Structure 1
């Protein structure tokens, strides 16, 4: 007991120390504005109106995730819009999750040092930086907290079943779903750990029916919410065969970045075509490893459980239901990598056991483990620093990825917010050159050109933006301003009216149409 407390404390403090730099970071204009700084309900803090909204209203195409919203509202109540408190809340949740990983694995396996190694990898791995340093990913951190709490309660229930322990499992699982619906696959993971390390009989699975029913309900509700917000239109970014290919490639890429966590980016673009040959090779690799884990299931059950943990937990965000232009995301690996870390830890532990009587080899193995954790820590500290502000973050994304038109667009917007119109325009043009069908940079570039008294050139950008997105009031408004600057008032009024036809509450156009 004393050893577990010492290990838990060390893991918690190590995590706090490694991410302490975030207390000096700003919010980033990458959902932080949408979720927090410009969200009127969150900005009000914890009020009856905002709490009601959190439990009843889907927002920006996401499912209802009230616990995540409530945590943001609590931060506003405590810290206002000072980003330091919001960032440190993320760090504290990640530190708590790290301790929970250790507690749950030790409780299941009775192997404290192997469990501590998994928790240490979970704490320091650079792929987890995005989940911690990005305030908007609070939903993922909270869902993971309640996910791990569910497992903790479940293991206690398995060891000595009771109604109240089972209720605690249901409550924690529901909280995980209400933080982020990604938790729908958790009941399958519970089936996996029943096989190893809990070694339960298969006839015990009926008790999970309520959990599976909650998962089905959450999945259906999330799908309906996304359909209501027309999120399904983004499913057609790629044909199904290419989405499937991208999913297999992403599975392999996450593994590669686990072993070589370099060139990490907040945005990885899925391009118009996916290399199908790479997809076939990735599928063959995944199939081969899966087959090996089944063949070795008796000899190394942890390999089977860890591998399928990885595959199953990553499945909802692997890209089969492609939303937008993102091929993969570091934050998606937050929970799935626990399965890979279990495999690494158990294999390393077995290796140490075999060398226990051979002093020098044992010391070499221990040194390798400690060196690995130290190197990962330094890489995470360096990766975290890129999240300090928008310009740093999106400059990094543009530099380590190819043809990342979204990174250039966001970088342009970051420079625009700083008043540097020349750099902003340059990055908007780079975004357009890479992806001419991406409408967003045209509008912003048009307004910059208007400020530079280049009305004709600006009108070309606004015209293209309205062609690509006929429901954009800003593009019609910009076209109207371009015509006004050219002295063509009557033509300008036509475009102002078009802007109001799309959005009757579009304030700037109302100034011209009385």
Structure 2
């Protein structure tokens, strides 16, 4: 299984080996003009670990760049290869973690079924077009790194739950700290840990009488304190988490969040036409289009689907959707964020594993309960996977250089502005 996953990753992302730096966007300040990348001195390392660089905190990512430059020089192909390698490692971690989860949910399942769940979930995670932005754009390497350390922390946490050996919990804490140093979004890890506590039945004996003395909660205290410290550090340095001057009232931000949540699911199922830039539908002070309220209904339908599976005891579905939601929480704009986009493909990177697991479970249910339609269903599945691979291949090629990505953004801007190469909306783009 592992060699197949590696091979598929290399095939669908093969154009990335020929892509250049994104000189018009973040690659310039984050990599080419980053002093830490070119001079690994104590002063620069200390500064990057204690300050935000261009209003972002990713010192581990900068050190990652420094190591590449030190070993191989400033070559775009090497950076793209390193990013793809991390993506492959993340794919393997997803494969291993899903196998552990399925073994927990379906203990009597044959080994072939456990491997199949792990393989197809990891395959979707590996080759889905929504992953291209994180893999093919060098500046998005911090997403790959934070996901790697988050997945490593979860793997170690599973080992801790099974063995109760304290060193595994220490490993989780180290991975958490390094993950936050890769990207602030890693701060959400404690919620993921509690989700795994739920999965492995660690909340069953928890009552109001033993809440304060429960091991499952006491061991989370250091992680929650770390999260609080990370948040405080981010707020003091960059006002992350408290940004009242965003222009949109709470009810609009809430609707934006529901819109993004549903749109991510739609793009996951049908990634036919993707863009590099998804602007807000309105300017601050304007009224929301009426159809945006329909997203509340769609979220209600999705919520009912999850609740129905919870009542039926289908924990795999509940876990998948909760993992999907938890790792999207910080980028749904319910909490104000200084970002000019309402959604972005890269925000889906880690969450992809959760929604992919739900889909694989649903496909397994259909194939098991509709034996007469097994052949057509398999044909549809094969076609969908083939479409994902082809779409990812060409989507990766679209990241060749700044001009190719700029053309994709301009395509989204209103037709009356398409002819303006210096459109102000385009100039406001600041990718993470």
Q: Which TM-score band applies after superposition, normalised by the shorter structure?
A: 0.7 to 0.9
Residue 311 of structure 2 corresponds to residue 298 of structure 1: yes
Asked if the contact 2:51–2:237 (Cα under 8 Å) also holds between the matched residues in 1, the reply is no
Q: Distance in 1 between matches of 2:27 and 2:159?
A: 38
| TM-score of the pair, normalised by structure 2 | 0.86
Other-structure match for 2:201: 199
Other-structure match for 1:395: 407
Measured against aligned partners, the alpha-carbon deviations of 1:157-201 in whole angstroms (never above 9, x if no partner) come to: 1111111111111111222122112122222122223333x3333
Q: What are the within-5 Å matches in structure 2 for residues 58-207 of structure 1?
A: 58-63=52-57, 65-110=58-103, 111-196=114-199, 198-202=200-204, 203=206, 205-206=216-217, 207=219
Q: Any unmatched runs of 5+ in structure 2? A: 104-113, 207-214
Asked if the contact 1:143–1:183 (Cα under 8 Å) also holds between the matched residues in 2, the reply is yes
Q: Distance in 1 between matches of 2:202 and 2:289?
A: 41
Q: How many residues align?
A: 403
Shift of 1:241: 2.9
Other-structure match for 1:18: 12
Q: Distance in 2 between matches of 1:136 and 1:330?
A: 14
Q: Distance in 1 between matches of 2:294 and 2:322?
A: 19
Other-structure match for 2:255: 245
Structure number with greater Rg is: 1
Among 272, 282, 296, the residue aligned to 2:295:
282
The residue matched to 2:20 in structure 1 has which SS? coil
Asked if the contact 1:243–1:322 (Cα under 8 Å) also holds between the matched residues in 2, the reply is no
Other-structure match for 2:210: none
Cα RMSD of the aligned pairs, angstroms, is 2.5
Q: Any unmatched runs of 5+ in structure 1? A: 1-6, 409-422, 442-514
The residue matched to 1:236 in structure 2 has which SS? coil
Asked if the contact 1:42–1:50 (Cα under 8 Å) also holds between the matched residues in 2, the reply is no
Other-structure match for 1:472: none
Shift of 1:33: 0.5
| TM-score of the pair, normalised by structure 1 | 0.73
Measured against aligned partners, the alpha-carbon deviations of 1:419-455 in whole angstroms (never above 9, x if no partner) come to: xxxx9xx412xx15xx6xx9879xxxxxxxxxxxxxx
Other-structure match for 2:110: none
Shift of 1:154: 0.8
Other-structure match for 1:317: 331
Deviates more, 1:261-270 or 1:239-248: 239-248
Q: What are the within-5 Å matches in structure 2 for residues 342-353 of structure 1?
A: 342-353=357-368
Q: Distance in 2 between matches of 1:348 and 1:267?
A: 32
Other-structure match for 1:334: 349
Q: Distance in 1 between matches of 2:415 and 2:155?
A: 44
Shift in CA distance, 119/401, structure 1 to aligned 2, threshold 3 Å: farther
Measured against aligned partners, the alpha-carbon deviations of 1:332-382 in whole angstroms (never above 9, x if no partner) come to: 011122221111011112233335xx4x64344333322221110100111
Shift of 1:212: 2.0
Measured against aligned partners, the alpha-carbon deviations of 1:272-306 in whole angstroms (never above 9, x if no partner) come to: 14635333221232133224322330322222222
Among 222, 229, 252, the residue aligned to 1:217:
229
The residue matched to 1:327 in structure 2 has which SS? strand
Asked if the contact 2:306–2:317 (Cα under 8 Å) also holds between the matched residues in 1, the reply is yes
Q: What are the within-5 Å matches in structure 2 for residues 455-474 of structure 1?
A: none
Q: Distance in 2 between matches of 1:374 and 1:199?
A: 37
Shift of 1:232: 4.0
Shift of 1:53: 3.1
Q: What are the within-5 Å matches in structure 2 for residues 17-36 of structure 1?
A: 17-28=11-22, 29-36=24-31
Asked if the contact 1:147–1:186 (Cα under 8 Å) also holds between the matched residues in 2, the reply is yes
Measured against aligned partners, the alpha-carbon deviations of 1:30-53 in whole angstroms (never above 9, x if no partner) come to: 111010112222233x34343333
The residue matched to 2:342 in structure 1 has which SS? strand
Asked if the contact 1:237–1:324 (Cα under 8 Å) also holds between the matched residues in 2, the reply is no
